[in-house]
Structure 1
Amino acid sequence: MIEKDGMKAGDKIPSERELSERLNAGRSSVREALRALELLGLIETRRGEGTFIRDFRGNQLVQLLSTFILQDEKAKNDVIETKYMIEVDCLYLAADKFQKEEFERLQIWIEEHHFDDEEFFKKIAEIADNHLFYRIWNILNDYYNSLQLQVLPAEKAEYRMLAESLASQKKELILEKYRALRKLSTN
């Protein structure tokens, strides 16, 4: 319902009564679900004001789930590997859908903004225009961040070269520039 209604952090959610009617569920079930969401830190109740969606990007939920999901090195490596695979697929999709104007906008954005890796790949996901890929990547990125890896940051020039490779639409070149950005071996 939050996604369907386009609600975001800070927005007030409907009352228990309205939620009960809209979701066709009993008020006690709605009350219990709201209590669980509040315990997870996803919503907050303010006395006399109502219940609001929290900005849960910095939430401990991912860290909590990570302790169960990422218990061994294999699982940790799987998160990293899968995140990288999704990023490469997003790059390929973006290259396929790349329009000259988008390339120019991306180049200007790279030159004019101070950005981090996450912001860059969000841009790529927007260009790839695949909502499911974006959502999967976003979840994997949260788990990846929870690993607190010591990663050397990429230089702006590496992002620029990766963006330029998209315009070529050559998958081998895109992969080469992505591997350089990620400091991955070419084997």
Structure 2
Amino acid sequence: MNQPKRYLDIVSDIRDMIRREKIRPGDRIPSERELAETLQVGRSTLREALRSLELLGLIETRRGEGTFLSDHRNHKLVEVLSTFILQDNQSQEDVWQTRLVHEVAAIRLVCQNEALDGIRVWDSFRKKLESEENILREDFVREVMVLSGNRLSLKIWFLLQQYSGNPYAEAVSGPERELLKPILSALEQRDTELAIQSFKSWSGWIQKRRMQNGDDS
């Protein structure tokens, strides 16, 4: 059975198609349905790739008009990362650690933001953890990145987490709930060092589980 196309493969295919069809900045790119048929990929996987490209500023969607190619100068980040990552195990480890750097920086900014005290932003996550309601890893970490207020870091993080095998795509498992609770408590109390220490423990747990399962995607 053929392996499903990974995020990086789809990005590369879209880039090749843009070059082949000589699509210029400002030109409309094919619809989601057309791209799925041309690239022979699932709609949900393609939709995630397009969403990532839009967050990076590589494409833009105009309501009622379609999706358009942005200025080519915005492609540099993808070009640099796509030529570097996934070359060997060390590169994959570097991507993982670089992503963690952005996450730790975001935690510092969130803990320093006194304005977050009154909005009780973590309540919904705590209730889901305590009630064993389904919660995605990505929802939690993305919230941290968004609350940091650093939009560039958010864009880079989104790309890095895709390129490190999307470790946050899964739902939080039973044992993880106990690892997330101290992170939430530390964020609420704005205890920077404890929040970072607890987050790194959780990240290490995820990485160890992926290695044990032989998941190098």
Tell me what 2:201 maps to.
180
Return the offset for 1:100: 1.8
1:164 corresponds in structure 2 to: 185
How far apart, in 1, do the equivalents of 2:155 and 2:127 lie? Answer: 27
Give the structure 2 partner of residue 138 of structure 1.
158
Deviation at 1:167, TM superposition (A): 2.7
Structure 2 letter corresponding to 1:56: R
Residue 110 (structure 2) aligns with? 94
The structure number with the bigger radius of gyration is 1
Gaps of 5+ in 1: 1-28, 47-53
- Specify whether residues 109 and 146 from structure 1 end up closer, same or farther in structure 2 by C-alpha distance, changes over 3 A only: closer
Match of residue 12 from structure 1: none
Separation of aligned partners in 1, 2:165 and 2:88: 16
AA at the equivalent of 1:81: Q
Separation of aligned partners in 1, 2:84 and 2:104: 27
CA contact (8 A) 1:37 1:43 kept: no
State the partner residue of 1:33. 23
CA distance in 2, matches of 1:100, 1:36: 44
Paired amino acid for 1:169: R
Paired residue type of 1:105: V
CA-to-aligned-CA distance 1:50-97 (integer Å, 9 cap, x gap): xxxx953157x99xx868731112211111100111111111111111
Distance 1:85 1:68, change over 3 A: closer
* Other-structure match for 2:121: 105
Return the alpha-carbon distance in structure 2 between the equivalents of residues 146 and 137 of structure 1.
11
Q: What is the DSSP-based 3-state SS (H/G/I as helix, E as strand, rest coil) of the residue aligned with 2:48?
A: coil
The equivalent of 1:75 in structure 2 is: 91
| 3-state SS of 2:194 partner | helix
Check the 8 A contact 2:125/2:140 in 1, yes or no. Answer: no
Work out the CA distance in 2 between the residues paired with 1:177 and 1:97: 19
Q: How many Å separate the matches in 2 of 1:67 and 1:135? A: 18
Is the Cα–Cα contact under 8 Å of residues 94 and 124 in structure 1 kept in the other structure? Answer: yes
Looking at structure 1, the residues matched to 98 and 84 of structure 2 have their Cα atoms a distance apart, in angstroms, of: 18
Give secondary structure in 1 for the equivalent of 2:134. Answer: coil
Q: In structure 1, what residue type is equivalent to 2:196?
A: L
Task: For residue 109 of structure 1, report the CA deviation from its aligned partner.
Answer: 3.1
Shift of 1:124: 0.8
Question: In structure 2, do the counterparts of structure 1 residues 78 and 68 end up closer, same or farther at CA, with 3 Å as the change threshold?
Answer: closer
Q: Is the CA contact 2:183–2:198 (under 8 Å) kept in the aligned structure 1?
A: yes
Moved over 4 A (4+): 34-38, 42-46, 65-68
If the length of structure 2 is used for normalisation, what is the TM-score? 0.51
- 2:138 aligned residue: 118
Question: Please, what is the CA RMSD of the aligned residues?
Answer: 3.8
Q: SS of the residue aligned with 2:47?
A: coil
